[in-house]
Amino acid sequence: MRLIGTASVAVGVFLSGFVIAEPAPYELWLAFLIGTWFILGLRISRSVGPLLALFITFNIGGMLSITQMRDLAAGNHLDGPIYIAVSTFLALSSVFYAAIVEDNQKRLRLIFNTWVVAALITASLGILGYFHAVPGFDIFTRYDRAMGAFQDPNVFGPYLVTPSLYLMHGLLVGDLKKAPVKAVCLLVLAFGVFLSFSRAAWALFAFASVMLIFCMLLKHRSNTFRLRILVMSMTAIIFMVVLLVVALQFPQVSDLFTTRLQLVQSYDGGHLGRFERHGIGFMMSMERPLGLGPLVFGQMFREDEHNTWLKTLTTYGWIGFACWISMICWTIYIGFRNFLKERPWQPYVMIAWIVILGHVGIGNVIDTDHWRHLYMLIGIVWGCGALEQRYQRSLSGRGAAP
């Protein structure tokens, strides 16, 4: 029975890489999975309980925000409630991942390996579609940007970062015989990130890669290991530069790359551009403790907030904003306390923590509150934190020093 349950989790993680329409198969499968697992006895421990409490309060803020929407009965009157319903589902998915990780730490490896497989498939779809290599595969692109089996290139790119880091970690500490296969897989994912032409994804990939190497140097201080990191890092940089040079030989790539490389686009700094909307939105939110209502900001300005902190204020009110800030800070704290401890789950919590830190950064210029993989990462960090607390209790029970 446990084997079936674990396999069903792998199916859910795999489906996370294919979100072309909503509700996606991921939502349907995970909704069934969450209900079934809890009916069969999956429990939420005291270690995971605070995450559930924060997310419930967060979504209560969203429900209160619905009451601020004008003319709810006009137009797409269900959009707001559906948005909060999706938020609630994603919150429960995060708690679910935390609970199953705490229940069995071996699921971490399954989750990450399945994530790599899903990422490779969706990245390949995006790459093939971008170059029109297969008839009909242009559905995996948008605005001349690769988006794989996603609705938006700006979600597709960041989704690939976590499995990329997992492959990097395997290259740095794993068996050298498997290194060539991992290196090829990493190049595919890195190329997918590049062809997404998402500046947030580029920044996230660069930040996460540097942070991973830095954390690994903190953990492994032998000169032999540092030499291995240096050699592999230089090799990876050379390969990626060669890949970039080859890609830029295609006019469609070089033209879009030059445009996207500009730090501030016209829609960022222009009249009512992204940054001006941020200022206006924060001022409006100071006068609306319960928020503006789900999706109302986008209807007012014809563009979404493109800022996670502003999104929480407009969509979930002050209550939701306080809960989101608390949850993110608590998650970062849990990861910081555990990412260097010598435990079987150490690589997974380290990778998840690094990528969450990156998402906190890019959240200043893009909405991340409905990114399925972010909730998965949050659940992983909390699950690993719960494993650590259980480990410490077991040491105390044996009378050993922590």
Range of the domain at 134: 2-397
In a domain, 402, yes or no: no
Q: Which of 95-104, 217-226, 354-363 has the lowest mean pLDDT?
A: 217-226
Residue 107: what pLDDT?
A: 94
In a domain, 162, yes or no: yes
Total number of domains in the chain: 1
User: Is residue 162 pLDDT above 90, yes or no?
Assistant: yes
Summarize pLDDT for 219-240 with one digit per residue, the tens: 887 788 888 888 877 877 787 7
User: Is residue 75 pLDDT above 50, yes or no?
Assistant: no
Query: Which of 78, 69, 105 shows the shortest CA–CA distance to 385?
Result: 105
Angle at 112 between CA 110 and CA 118, to 5 degrees: 100
Do the Cβ atoms of 140 and 126 come closer than 8 Å?
A: yes
Residue 77: what pLDDT?
A: 67
Summarize pLDDT for 110-154 with one digit per residue, the tens: 999 999 999 999 999 999 999 889 999 999 999 889 999 999 999
Which SS3 state, helix, strand or coil, does residue 142 take? Answer: strand
Summarize pLDDT for 286-297 with one digit per residue, the tens: 989 999 989 888
Residue 401: what pLDDT?
A: 46
Residue 29: what pLDDT?
A: 94
Query: Which of 154, 146, 62 shows the shortest CA–CA distance to 374?
Result: 154
Q: How far apart are CA 57 and CA 312, in angstroms?
A: 12
Q: How far apart are CA 64 and CA 71, in angstroms?
A: 16
In a domain, 92, yes or no: yes
- How would residue 163 be classed by pLDDT, with cut points 50, 70 and 90? very high
Name the burial class of residue 284, with classes exposed (0-12), middle (13-18) and buried (19+) by CB atoms within 10 angstroms of its CB: middle
User: Is residue 91 pLDDT above 60, yes or no?
Assistant: yes
Summarize pLDDT for 30-53 with one digit per residue, the tens: 999 999 998 888 899 999 999 999
Q: How far apart are CA 386 and CA 54, in angstroms?
A: 16
Residue 257: what pLDDT?
A: 67
- How would residue 399 be classed by pLDDT, with cut points 50, 70 and 90? low
Q: How far from 168 is each of 7, 52, 129, 147, CA to CA, in Å?
A: 25, 32, 26, 22
Do the Cβ atoms of 217 and 226 come closer than 8 Å?
A: yes
Average pLDDT, the chain: 88
3-state secondary structure 49-91: HHHHHHHHHHHHHHHHHHCCCCCCCCCCCCHHHHHHHHHHHHH
